[in-house]
Amino acid sequence: MTRLTALGSGWLAIAALLSVGTAHAQEADADLIKRGAYLATAGDCTACHTKAGGKFMAGNFKLDTPIGAIKTPNLTPDDETGIGKWSYETFEKAFRHGIGDEGEYLYPAFPFGWYTKVSDEDTKAIFAYLKSLPPVKEKREENEIPFPFNVRTALITWRTAFFTAERFKPDPNASAEVNRGGYLVEGLGHCGMCHNERKLVGNSSLAGRFGGGVIDGWYAPNITPDGHQGIGAWSDEEVVAYLKTGTAPGNRPGVAAGPMRQTIEESLSKMTDADLRAMVAYLRTIPAKQTYKEKDLQAFNQPGAPGADTYLTYCSSCHRPDGKGVEGAIPALAGNTSIQSRGPETIINVIVGGLAAQSGYAPMPAIGQEMTDEQIKNVTDYIRNSWGNKAPVVSETGVVASARQKIKTMMAGNAPCSTIDDDKLKASVEQATGGDALKGLKPNDFVPVLSRVAPQVKAAAPEAGDDAVVNGLLSAFCKANRSDRDAEPLPWSATIGSFGNVAYSQVKNPEKRVDAAPGQPPSSGASSPKP
């Protein structure tokens, strides 16, 4: 072999080694990014950094806080408007210390008081993931915070009182599962951000830990092991199922709504069962806590109780006079722990705004649109204190009026029609309802039309699931009829609520109630959502 040939062979060997090294480095980077994606999901970053209809992680989501509205920043790697020029050190200082890239203090609406507990390795993985995203050029909008709260230097007082930079410290006497759960609950999951009684005091024992409290007009319930006000009466399997889907198996009542529904859809439902079980195991170690004193309010367990007539008029046809609902179709109110939280905000919001179909349950009409504020207050107290339920009565003046002003939904008729994100489902709905099939449709014709349309949509998009099919039909009905308000024989909330219930019935049980002729009422009623 000549010297030249030997040198050539050597260079080839070096090139091969370099190629292998590069491949291994790329594989390591891919693994780091994949891990970071999971951790960012566990931290629920999408919920606060992606506005409705906006680009993924491009920010400008509006966070309503007690001091005003905060517009969230762009987390994509755009050099001008995002974190494209940030070093890891800049990101780490913001993520775990609440110090922005220009040295400014960040508002504690960003949960750095919890993220400070995240490990170095996980912080680096999250940064790698964010840097891998497609860059989006979207300038951050101005906050809506009045003086003096817009002076960030004043935040030094808050930081001195409540913030301590520290990593999560495993309990040497606890199991690996409990410590994993503690790391998630107290760190990335920042559960106390919503479930602590006092929100802006950070990850602190002073915050009424996990005892429940109001967040953005909704009540985040007690999640300590208390048997009545918390999750003590729930089995581990029931809590895990709730975190995964928004409902629990068996006869455990309740469905997730408001911010918790979004957290489940965008974060908890995408986490591993092992991590969810670990979070539950950790929550079991928190001291049980009662956030209000229970009283025996027998006034609600007798004829003529406040709110009883309203309940029988508006609610009992679905939830039944005994509050037990319809298994698998309509959640029970009796024994529902979320209904018995200290604060009534969540149930009032649902009465006012309704709910889309979710977790196999029928959509709920925005029945509060047909009630007075006094009726909503009374029926809320009745539901929270009947059939063995016990909870404080509504005492805050204006809480119902505030909900009416804040809650904007398609079901209530004060928000745009919802959209269908699944392209295949959207196409199947458009094909099945093409033309004027839903335009001007009257309640008496809901059954014959939906008995034809619903099976077509379900068959064309079987992977979408029943909930999505029902909600897709609701969206199509809304878009076809919202502008034709004068033609409605009933208020909008009642009209779309009735349509939703019939759509649910025909999607879930198409063999029932298909014998009605157009213009004639169905033999067993068009508005009942019962299967």
pLDDT in tens, 159-207: 777 788 899 999 999 999 999 999 999 999 999 888 887 655 555 555 5
Helices and strands per DSSP (H, E), number in the chain: 20, 4
Span 471-493, average pLDDT: 78
- Exposure string over 279-299, b if 16+ CB within 10 A, otherwise e: bbbbbbebebbebbeeeebee
CA atoms of 185 and 208, how far apart (whole Å): 15
Contact (CB, 8 A) for 363 and 501: yes
- Dihedral class, residue 231 (left if φ above 0, else alpha if ψ from -120 to 50, else beta): alpha
> So what's the pLDDT on residue 513?
44
CA atoms of 159 and 146, how far apart (whole Å): 20
> So what's the pLDDT on residue 524?
37
Run of H or E including 37: helix 3-42
Contact (CB, 8 A) for 39 and 126: yes
pLDDT in tens, 331-369: 889 888 878 888 899 999 999 999 999 888 899 999 999
CA atoms of 90 and 97, how far apart (whole Å): 10
Say whether 59 sits in a helix, a strand or coil.
strand
CB atoms within 10 A of CB 136: 18
In this prediction, residue 486 has a pLDDT band, given cuts at 50, 70 and 90, of: very low
> So what's the pLDDT on residue 256?
83
Residue 528 has pLDDT above 60, yes or no: no
In this prediction, residue 289 has a pLDDT band, given cuts at 50, 70 and 90, of: confident
Does the pTM surpass 0.75? The reply is no
Helix axes 466-481, 446-460, angle to 10 degrees: 130
CA atoms of 146 and 92, how far apart (whole Å): 29
Q: What are phi and psi of 358, to 5 degrees?
A: -160, 145
Residue 214 has pLDDT above 90, yes or no: no
In this prediction, residue 208 has a pLDDT band, given cuts at 50, 70 and 90, of: confident
Structure tokens at 299: 């006034």
Contact (CB, 8 A) for 446 and 498: yes
pLDDT in tens, 79-129: 999 999 999 999 999 999 999 998 888 888 889 999 999 999 999 999 999
Structure tokens at 54: 């906006």
- Direct distance between the N- and C-terminal alpha carbons of the chain, in angstroms, rounded to an integer: 85
Tokens 């817009």 -> residue: 150
Q: What are phi and psi of 326, to 5 degrees?
A: -125, 115
The one-letter amino acid at 47: A
CA atoms of 331 and 335, how far apart (whole Å): 11
Tokens 């024992």 -> residue: 205
Taking the CA atoms of 510, 513, 515 and 518 in sequence, report the sign of the dihedral they define.
negative
Lowest mean pLDDT among 144-148, 151-155, 305-309, 515-519: 515-519
DSSP state of 187: I
Residue 372 has pLDDT above 60, yes or no: yes
Q: Is the peptide bond before 416 cis (omega within 30 degrees of 0)?
A: no
CB atoms within 10 A of CB 67: 17
Residue 239, C-beta contacts closer than 8 angstroms, at least 6 positions apart: 231, 248, 280, 283
pLDDT in tens, 296-337: 555 566 667 778 888 888 888 888 888 888 888 888 898 888
Closest CA to 158 of 83, 226, 67, 233: 67
> So what's the pLDDT on residue 251?
63
pLDDT in tens, 34-70: 999 999 999 999 989 998 889 999 999 987 776 778 8
> So what's the pLDDT on residue 23?
54
pLDDT in tens, 241-267: 999 998 877 666 678 888 888 899 999
CA atoms of 487 and 443, how far apart (whole Å): 12
> So what's the pLDDT on residue 275?
97
Q: What are phi and psi of 421, to 5 degrees?
A: -80, -30
> How distant is the alpha carbon of residue 249 from its chain centre?
19
